Amino acid sequence: MTHATATANMMHPPAPAEPGSGVYSNKLGMWIFLASDVMFFTALIGSYIILRFGMREPWAAPGAVLNVPLTGINTFLLICSSVSMVKAYAAIVDGKKYFLRPVPGKLLRDGGLKFWMLVTIICGAMFVGVQVVEYFKLVQHGLTPAGFREGSHFAEVALADPAKYGAATAGLFGSTFFTMTGFHGFHVTCGVVSMLYLYFTKVLPEKYSPQDYRGIETIGLYWHFVDLVWIILFTIVYLI
Amino acid sequence: MTSVAHAKPGAHDAHHAPMSFWRKYIFSTDHKIIGIQFLFVSLFFLLLGGLLAMQIRWQLGFPGKPMPGGGILPEAMTSGGVILPEYYIQLVTMHGTFMVFFAIMPLLMGVYANFLIPLKIGTHDMAFPRLNMWSFWLAFTAGLIMVAGFFVPDGAARAGWTMYAPLSARPDLSGATYGQLVWCVSIVVLGLSSVLGSVNYITTVINHRAPGMTWFRMPLSVWAIFITAILAVLALPVLQGAAILLLFDQTIGTHFFDPIAGGQALLWQHLFWFFGHPEVYILILPAMGMVSDIIANGSRKPIFGYHSMVFAIVGIAFLGWIVWGHHMFMSGMNPTLGSTFMVSTLLISVPSAIKVFNWLGTMWRGNLKFTVPMLNAVAFVSMFTIGGLSGVFMAATPVDMHIHDTYFIVAHLHYVLFGGSLFALFAAIPYWYPKMFGRMMSEAIGKWHFWLTFITYNLVFFPMHILGMNGEMRRLYDPSQYEFLKPQQGLREFITIAAFSLFAVQFLFLFNFLWSLKRGKKAELNPWQDNGLEWSLPSPAPHGNWDRPPNVYRGPYEFSAPEAGNADFLPQHVKLPTDRDPAAATAPAPAPAH
């Protein structure tokens, strides 16, 4: 299939024609759900902004408590998974249902839907894995949702340099950090589980075709949204 | 979600396949059955909420006297039949919670959104029938969890239905550990149910309208439900987020709302009312929509100002987002911000007044037929007007400072929620009853119920304005212990007796509702002689509704139209010789410009 027809496909959704918006119901429903999810994260992020910038005492410096390079790599992983999601979408639009296929005259093989979906799932799962490791390390060093644990590493260094570690605001730091990143991680987990479900029920049995790839497009929307939320969270939690 | 079946025109065979009892009536995906499930469950919660209210009234009317039947309650709630303060605050909290979240909201958005949307826009079912089933069972679970609050140690939540922090966040302040927790969990589950339901409603209205059912041919009930669903989809997640933060404060030791540890108690109020004010319109807009349909039908006239009605709904919904601060004039919020909220709040009375004016305009010189639905709909208009006018009082910051947190607020709230939403439901239930169950509710009992309710309801809630003006704070366990509130004890006693009568009268309705299920008069196809698409179906409407979606040729309010000949109504699906076929006009379904 040429690129031009692929573009035409995007303009005219593959679902059975329904009266109304011209966008098939699954996709429309997902957009509406995402609007709702935006409001959910707005509640969390808005609370964070009010709590953090409403405090007179300094907030912990970026990098003092959190491992920013590790999370930077994690962010890269999530962005990669968004790219592979787009590749998966492009593959099924072009009718490539296979895993990998050699291309004459080229070193790299050509990835199909099965390949790119698997890459997305693995990247997403790795993101959650790294986040779990990060949580364990933080709790080990003494950051809990209630603040720095008595007698922990963080509690000691915060005593020495209260401004850098935000000693007075540690309780709110822990509260907001674990809540926001935790709910994002929960969203990623839900996405990975849904994609695994689709992978075994629809992708592997080759149920998708250039005529109907609604599941891929819909889960793709969700996945990009979760990625976008992370970019915002990473910026305001880890970088500022 | 992808596996959800699509209702394809012509490829519809759901009602040919035999279904087990469980698939058909319990885990049903049919929008009408789900609506009926919601109806029974939320009527139960309505009754439960009413029962709690009666106990509140007993304590206020006869403080310190043993409540009849109070002896059967455990000792943590009553002592020698007398309601304890700890139990009284649970009553107040749970009455509000049950009525708002588990009675009125599901009655409007669970029952009538589910039941009416597909029938009124001419489609087989919702866009996502299975999601719809989930929405009901999640709401049901949330209700069970909320009821469980009464049975955990220390009893149910105690911080009022608004759950103001830090009282709600710290068990050492409220005295209830598990009750508070249960409340938060239940609200999170309920929020999920509402979001799923609303996603479904919006998608269905946008994508599944019958050929010819353009936006401005939709009945106002569908318009109102559609806009309300948008409000719900955007407002409920905020409440969910807030409830989750509160839950974390109570369980894993976060400090969002605890000022001692640096949190902000005011943050809870902002989050709650940012949800709470759109919620107010979630509770009234569908009622307004249904009343519009019923009043046009009962007046045998087209609705006055159809477009302005639609734009008023949209306007109210939009303004509803920028007024939440008027609940917080006394919270210590910046006074300048207060005046902004005052102006935006006063603005809302403009679209609200447009609606009242249009209802009056519809009835003006109409051929009024005072059936039970029409009587209740007219009561809605008058009671909503009183409630709206007292709302203007509290929108004005200086006046609100005097009446804030008093019985004036309680009176206002009940005038719009009971006088408004509940009267609209007393209109809607008998009106669509034939399409649900195939029988009519008794008009005679209905009229008795209406008049007795209307009178006793006003006797209960109007005097509360006076109590509030004299400074009686709400949620007081025993107002008579204050010297300046002592003289009002007679009035409180009067209200209590009126409230008991009001409660007793509701059993007429309950009897009528249950009795008519089996013994009611068999309903004909179109008992109210209405134009809506649902009346083209047999009563009760069959599984899957139409074999093919009907064609729509006109708007829903063509009463007394000259084209109709001898009849005074002209249904939307009836094709006149002059009508063009809508399928030809909309068949390729290009993306519309709206």
CA distance B177 to chain A (A): 18
Q: Could B267 and A19 be called an inter-chain contact, meaning their C-beta atoms sit closer than 8 Å? A: no
Confidence of residue A220 (pLDDT cuts 50, 70, 90): very high
Distance from CA of B297 to the nearest CA of A (A): 28
CATH code that applies to domain A23-239: 1.20.120.80
CA–CA distances in Å: residue B39 to residues B32, B54, B467: 10, 22, 35
CA of residue B424 relative to chain centroid, distance: 9
Residue A207: name the closest of A139, A113, A106 by CA: A113
Tell me the C-alpha distance between B294 and A150, whole Å. 65
CA distances to B92, B315, B414, B462, B508 from B498, rounded to whole Å, are 19, 37, 15, 11, 16
Is B13 a member of any domain? Answer: no
The beta-carbon neighbor of B237 closest among A37, A145, A198 is A37
Residues of B in contact with A51 (CB under 8 A): 256, 262-264, 267
CA distance B511 to B532: 28
The answer to whether the beta carbons of residues B247 and B168 sit under 8 Å apart is no
Q: Are A138 and A99 in contact (CB under 8 A)?
A: no
DSSP states of B86-141 as a string? HHHHHHHHHHHHIIIIIIIHIIIIIIIHHHHHHHHHT-SS-SSHHHHHHHHHHHHH
DSSP states of B533-586: GGGGS-SSPPTTS-SSPPP--S-TT-BT-GGGTTSSB--TTPPPTTPPPHHHHH
pLDDT tens digits along B351-401 = 999 999 999 999 999 999 999 999 999 999 999 999 999 999 999 998 999
pLDDT surpasses 90 at A57:
no
Residues of B within 8 A of A17 (CB-CB) are: 589
Q: Which of B242, B586, B589 sits opposite A43 (nearest CB)?
A: B242
In a domain, B4, yes or no: no
- Answer yes or no: is B590 within a domain: no
Instruction: Determine whether the interchain pair B206/A47 forms a contact, defined as Cβ–Cβ distance below 8 Å.
Output: no
Q: Say whether A100 sits in a helix, a strand or coil.
A: strand
In chain A, the residue whose alpha carbon lies closest to the alpha carbon of B260 is A171
The structural domain count of chain B equals 1
In tens, the pLDDT along A179-189 reads 999 999 999 99
Q: Considering only the beta carbons, identify the residue of A20, A33, A168 that sits closest to B199.
A: A33
Q: Is B17 domain-assigned?
A: no
Instruction: For residue B275, give the H/E element and its range.
Output: helix B265-282
B594 in a structural domain: no
B1 assigned to some structural domain: no
Residue B298 phi/psi, 5-degree rounding, is -75, -20
Q: In which band, very low, low, confident or very high, does the pLDDT at A3 lie, cut at 50, 70 and 90?
A: low
Contact check, Cβ <8 Å, B202/A23: no
Structure tokens at B511: 């009897």
Determine the pLDDT at residue B589: 44
CB contact under 8 Å between B248 and A175, yes or no, is: yes
Given a cut of 70, whether residue B486 has pLDDT beyond it is yes
Distance between CA atoms of A31 and B514, rounded to whole angstroms? 41
Mean pLDDT of chain B: 91
**Residue at B403 is within a domain:** yes
Residue B463's pLDDT band, with cuts at 50, 70 and 90, is: very high
| pLDDT reported for residue B17 | 57
Question: Which residue has better confidence, A10 or B170?
Answer: B170
Poorest-pLDDT segment among B211-215, B271-275, B357-361, B438-442: B211-215
B240 contacts in chain A (CB < 8 Å): 40, 43
Domain harbouring B546, CATH code: 1.20.210.10
Query: Strand locations in A43-179, DSSP E?
Result: 100-101, 110-111, 143-144, 147-148
**Is residue B5 predicted with pLDDT exceeding 60?**
no
**Min Cα separation B18/chain A (Å):** 26
Instruction: Give the pLDDT score at B335.
Output: 81
Beta carbons of B150 and B156 less than 8 angstroms apart: yes
Q: Say which residue, B13 or B354, is predicted with more confidence.
A: B354
Residue located via tokens 């695994």:
A196
3-state secondary structure of A148: strand
| Radius of gyration, alpha carbons of chain B | 24
Segments forming the whole domain that contains residue B402? 26-585
Residues B78-100 have a mean pLDDT of 93
Give the nearest partner residue to B237 out of A17, A20, A36, using CB atoms. A36
Residues pairing with B468 in the sheet: none
Task: List the single residue in B248, B263, B590 with the smallest CB-CB distance to A179.
Answer: B248
Render pLDDT for A84-120 as a digit per residue (tens, 0 to 9). Answer: 999 999 999 998 888 888 888 888 888 899 999 999 9
Using only C-alpha atoms, chain A has a radius of gyration, in whole angstroms, of 22
Give me the mean pLDDT over the B463-472 stretch: 94
The model's pTM: 0.92
Quote the CA–CA distance of B539 and B537 in Å, as a whole number: 7
In this prediction, residue B556 carries a pLDDT of 93
Dihedral angle sign, alpha carbons of residues B562, B567, B573, B574: negative
